Amino acid sequence: MNIVNFYNQIFTILFLLMAGGAIVLEFWRKKPEDPKEPVPSPDAKEPSKQALRRTDGAERILFIVLMLLALFLRLWRFGEVPAGMNQDGAMAAVDAKALADYATDRFGTFLPTHFKAWGYGQMSVLLSYCMVPFIKLFGLSAITARLPMLLFSMAGLAALFFLGKRLLGARGGLIVLALGATNPWHFMQSRWALDCNLFPHLFLLGLFFLLKALDGKKRYLACSMIAFALCMYSYGIAFYTVPVFLLFLSIWLLARKLLDWRSVLLSGLLYFAISWPIYLTMMINAFGWKTIRTFFCTMPYFEGSVRSRDLIFFSDHKLTQLQANLKSLTGVYLNGDGLPWNTIQGHGVLWKCFLPFVFLGIFACIRKLIREKDQKVRAGYVAVLAYYVIANLSGLITAQVNVNRINILHYSLILFAAFGIFFTAERIGRMSWVIGAAYLILSVLFLRTYFTEHADSLRWYYFADYVEAVSFAGEQEGCTRYVITPYVRGEYARNSSEILTMFALSVDAEVFQGKRLNENGLTYQEMITYADASQRVANPGEPVVYVMRKEDVLSQSWDQYTLYAYGNYYVAVPEVFAK
Helix (H, G, I), strand (E, B) or coil at 555: helix
> Do 425 and 475 reside in the same domain of the chain?
no
Task: Identify whether 44 is part of a domain.
Answer: no
Q: Do 188 and 254 fall within a single domain?
A: yes
Q: Are residues 297 and 445 in the same domain?
A: yes
Q: Name, of 38-42, 165-169, 202-206, 338-342, the range with top average pLDDT.
A: 202-206
Are residues 304 and 330 located together in one domain of the fold? yes
184 domain-assigned: yes
Per-position b or e across 503-527, b if 16+ CB within 10 A of its CB = bbbebbbbbbeeeeebeeeeebeeb
How many domains, the chain?
Answer: 2
Are residues 111 and 152 located together in one domain of the fold?
yes
Give yes or no: residues 443 and 474 share one domain: no
pLDDT for residue 31: 53
| Co-location of 393 and 261 in the same domain | yes
pLDDT > 70: percent of the chain: 93
With respect to residue 399, please indicate whether it lies within any of the assigned structural domains.
yes
What percentage of the chain's residues is helix, strand, coil (to nearest 5)?
Answer: 65, 5, 30
User: Where is the domain boundary, 453, 479, 499?
Assistant: 453
Whether residue 408 is found in the same domain as residue 555: no
Same domain, 212 and 98: yes
> Does a structural domain hold residue 41?
no
Shared domain check, 337 and 260: yes
Looking at the fold, whether 402 and 550 belong to one and the same domain comes out as no
Question: Looking at the domain assignment, is residue 37 inside a domain?
Answer: no
Domain termination residue (choose one: 422, 453, 484)? 453
* Model confidence pLDDT, tens digit, residues 522-568: 999 999 999 988 788 888 889 999 999 988 888 788 889 999 999 98
pLDDT at 314: 67
Instruction: Please compute the mean of the pLDDT values over residues 280-300 and round it to a whole number.
Output: 94
Q: Which percentage of the chain shows pLDDT scores above 90?
A: 77
Average pLDDT of the residues in 447-457: 96
Host domain of residue 387: 3-32+50-453
- CB-based burial of residue 53 (10 Å sphere; 0-12 exposed, 13-18 middle, 19+ buried)? exposed
pLDDT category of residue 305 using cuts at 50, 70 and 90 = low
Mean pLDDT of 391-417: 94
Flag whether pLDDT at 42 surpasses 90: no
68 assigned to some structural domain: yes
pLDDT tens, 471-507?
999 999 889 999 999 888 777 788 899 999 999 999 9
Burial class (CB in 10 A: 0-12, 13-18, 19+), 490: exposed
Based on the fold, state whether residues 98 and 205 are members of the same structural domain: yes
Has residue 42 been placed in a domain? no
pLDDT of residue 322: 87
In a domain, residue 45? The reply is no
Among the candidates 433, 453, 473, a domain finishes at 453
Those residues whose C-beta lies under 8 Å from the C-beta of residue 55, and which sit 6 or more positions away, are: 47, 170
